[in-house]
Amino acid sequence: MLGRIENNTIVEYPTDIRTVWPNISWPSDLDSIADVELPKNIVRVIDNIPMQARFSTVIPSGFMLSGNRWVRIYNTSTLSEQEIKNIIKQEITDYRFKHEISGIKVGELQIDTSIESQNRMSNAVSNSTRRNLTSISFKAKDNSWSIISIEQLTNILDTIHQFVEQCFDAEKEKHLFIDSMKATQSQTVLQQLTEYDVTLNWPSFTF
């Protein structure tokens, strides 16, 4: 990336020399231009953004001349306790949805619990009365087929709804736990939040 300097200070970054000097035929890759070929007051800037830690934010804080190279400087700051709690609660919510649609096992059947699958099963139950159906061909999550009764399909739907409700209850419990987290004699809140594993203690997939 290129910048423009005045009085030994970078005053514009990044600078697109193709816009500033449109009548010059510049190469598509500006990095291929040798430093000695750059226009006056235009310098190359080394801009290596540091890796951002999970609970920190990286903020540009200026430029410095290191040897004969300009380098962009970054500061890293830790997020506030509430911001970190909000991040973890969103991670919990995201994981709840992933868990919810991962499927369950009812008896010997592997059941697809995606929203689309739930809607299809609900429609099948609703249409069974109109079409005088007592059974249907059922495709399990593992692509196996079986003939099940409408009563069985209704029970499967009820089990899915029970499972989904359990997932939401677990999500709520975890959110409340995060909100109520306090420092202990051995750990700060930040240490507890850092060690918290959102993937643990979710409802069983087996019914």
Residues 148-196: pLDDT tens digits? 999 999 999 999 999 999 999 999 999 999 999 999 999 999 999 999 9
User: 39 — phi, psi (to 5°)?
Assistant: -60, 160
Task: Place 28 in a pLDDT band, splitting at 50, 70 and 90.
Answer: confident
- Per-residue pLDDT of 29-85, as tens digits, reads 888 899 889 999 999 999 988 877 788 889 999 999 998 899 999 998 889 999 999
Angle at 108 between CA 102 and CA 112, to 5 degrees: 25
CB 118 within 8 A of CB 101: no
pLDDT of residue 198: 97
User: Which pLDDT score, from 0 to 100, does residue 52 have?
Assistant: 72
Contacts 24+ apart (CB under 8 A), 167-174: 167/96, 167/99, 167/100, 167/202, 167/203, 168/96, 170/96, 170/201, 170/202, 170/203, 171/92, 171/93, 171/96, 174/89, 174/92, 174/198, 174/201
pLDDT-based confidence at 137, cuts 50/70/90? very high
Residue in 164, 130, 170, 165 with CA at minimum distance from that of residue 150: 130
pLDDT tier for residue 146 given thresholds of 50, 70 and 90: very high
